[in-house]
Structure 1
Amino acid sequence: MAEAANVRQNLQNVPSIFEISAAETLDNLIYPALSKVFDYFGLRLDFKLWGQLHFREEFSPVVTWVLQYLYLRKRASSFGESFYGLQRTDTKTGEPLTRPQQFKSATLLTLLPYIERKLKARSAHHEETFSWESHLIKLFHIYNASRAVHTFLYLIKYSASHSPIFRALRLTLRYPREPPTEDKWTYIFLKMLEVLAFFLQFVQWWYSNDQRRKVGGTLQNPEPMPERQLPDEVKKTLPKQGECPVCLLRIQTPTACAVSGYVYCWKCIVTYLKEHGSCPVTDYPITLDDLVRIYET
């Protein structure tokens, strides 16, 4: 009881759960916003490892980790926590992060949401999953339940940490005792990144599903890839109206690509997408979320 009373006394002037939640929301916004930007410019890692194993991934996780580590090094807080004036400190001593804690914090801030997002995407698209992936999804459910418990204990001022990750790293969020000491160029650079947060929010809003449905009717159908490089005998084999551009047969189970507007067979476009990650006609980057089944009435 005496220990619990001491914890309550030390938690009088601490950030509210609403500020912490807002900071976490801003941190979780970085990855999807960067993904949209990199997809727009076509920036991806794309190569074959061996045999039929194809590696195709984006730069977003790497850039997210670098950004988070930079803020943890300079301000002892993540991007979102710095934006709301919070700082990570040691639970017992109240000192800023050590170098190992900075590295662990940046890695966990980037890796855990990335893995959970990938697992949920594979499960939602009914892709073939391994048994260890199912176990990982269950572990994430347990972790989220543990977060809810820690949040409640923090809310009633019974715990110094609002999440199991902070408890494991022996960290807590506090208001900084004094403004961070930075050189002029570092200060300007970090301020520019904070201003960039509003741009990231705008990008996320613009590419949201609801907004895409609102403006989708005003978008022009993109032009296909140029045919001038194709021989005449190949041009004669191009698909006619009602034929799938992939298999060149009558379309079965018509499926439209929301990005380009072209229609394919469901099996053809899914198979092509898994290998190339782009529209077969326009070569625009697409995902399974961009495919829309067409039902005739």
Structure 2
Amino acid sequence: LTQLGLPCQPNDTEIMLAEIKRRFKQFLGKSCPRAVLNWIRGRNPGVTNRRNNYDLCFALEMDEQQTALFFQKHYLTLPFYVKSKVDAVFLYCLHYHKPYQTAVKLLEESSDFVNQENAHTATSQIRSIILQTDDDAVFSRYLSAHCYGNEQQFQLARKIIKLEIEHVKKHIIKFDTESQLTADRLNSATIFELLGYHYQRSEKAIEKKLPKRFTESLPNDVTLGKIIHDEEASYELLRKTMMLLRFYNFYSETVNPDHQTTNENLMDFHAELDEMLFSCGFAQTYLRHPFDCLLLYCANSYDPITTLHTVMEYGRN
């Protein structure tokens, strides 16, 4: 804001709020969402609704490079994940200096697109085509055939998560043949395998010892049940659940006896994880995000699952 000519200090919250509200009205033609106002007040920015993230950048008159840096520094995620229709539209508009109204129009058109079951074009190829296509109609047609909407992203994520959960549950049953585990108890046991504690226990102690961006939207037996039954779940919950499941399933079948093997397994796990996230249009791992960083930190140990459980239980003291 200071670069845009508004004299203010980091603690001038009311001044910044008033300016952001004005800019949303002037440049975007709409009111500033409550979520964005809460970011200005100091709440950690979320990425569940990535349109809010891009809208704020548009309101602040950022270009493509400034938006990319803002995402990495403040949202702690990578920008322009072009398998997503929202990200693809905003990359197109920022790259070609299109007005915000063009982004709105393209997003409205994309809401009527039929899900493309075979939209598996590589991200690099999609990005390359976008950066060569300065034509709204041509871009819109390409978008309809090669990018995912939120609904399709979440459907694919749930499908992957359910398959991963089945692997965990088979592992649980294999080593607990005497217990009669109901579906609910299996969900609770799955969370214990992933995080090392039962949901019924107080999570406040754990939340105090770890960054909020790590602990928020972690799965529990209730939210795991919602995912399994195709009920509403946030982007962050789906992404973290998927990552934890892949982590557990990978390292429950892997041994890290020495440094070289640990490093090789880490690279394999990292590649598998990013490929899984990519397959449903989710942002790949980003080491500046506390959750991504700590998960890979645990993977880079001789006993990754136990290390993660220790981190969850005691924090990094």
Q: Name the TM tier (shorter chain).
A: under 0.3
Indicate the structure with greater strand content: 1
The structure richer in helix per residue is 2
Q: Structure 2 length normalisation: TM-score?
A: 0.22
TM-score, length-scaled by structure 1: 0.23
